[in-house]
C-alpha cells in the first residue's frame, strides 16, 4: 500500500515538475523570510540570481567577453 502511494507520488511529480518546483521554492523562501527576515532573504536571492546568471553566461564565453568589453572599454564620444 505504501509503495503504491509512493509510486503515485513519483508519477505526479514527474507530470507536474514545474508546479512541484515552484511550490518548493515558495516554501523555501517563506521559511527564509520567517527565520532570517525579509531583507536578508532578498540579499540571498539577489546573490543567488547573480551567481546563476554568471554561471549560465559562462557557458557562452562570447557573451561574457562582449559584456566585459561594454563595461570596461572606454566610451566613444562623438
From the list 44, 47, 39, the residue with the least C-alpha distance to 28 is 44
Q: Is residue 60 part of a domain?
A: yes
46 and 28 within one domain: no
Q: Is residue 3 part of a domain?
A: yes
Q: What is the pLDDT of residue 70?
A: 80
Range of the domain at 55: 37-73
Could you list the pLDDT tens digit for every one of the 78 residues in the chain? Answer: 899 999 999 999 999 999 999 999 999 999 999 999 999 999 999 999 888 887 776 666 666 677 777 888 776 654
12 and 27 within one domain: yes
pTM: 0.60
Gap between the Cα atoms of 45 and 43, Å rounded: 6
Q: Is residue 78 part of a domain?
A: no
Q: What is the pLDDT of residue 68?
A: 76
Q: 46 near 53, Cβ under 8 Å?
A: no
31 and 1 within one domain: yes
**Cell for 7?**
509510486
Domain count, the chain: 2
Q: What is the largest CA-CA distance in the chain?
A: 76
Q: What is the pLDDT of residue 61?
A: 66
20 and 6 within one domain: yes
Amino acid at each position: 500500500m505504501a509503495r503504491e502511494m509512493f509510486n503515485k507520488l513519483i508519477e505526479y511529480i514527474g507530470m507536474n515538475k514545474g508546479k512541484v518546483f515552484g511550490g518548493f521554492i515558495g516554501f523555501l523562501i517563506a521559511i527564509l523570510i520567517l527565520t532570517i527576515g525579509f531583507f536578508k532573504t532578498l540579499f540571498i536571492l539577489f546573490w543567488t540570481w547573480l551567481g546563476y546568471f554568471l554561471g549560465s553566461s559562462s557557458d557562452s564565453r562570447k557573451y561574457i567577453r562582449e559584456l566585459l568589453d561594454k563595461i570596461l572599454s572606454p566610451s566613444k564620444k562623438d
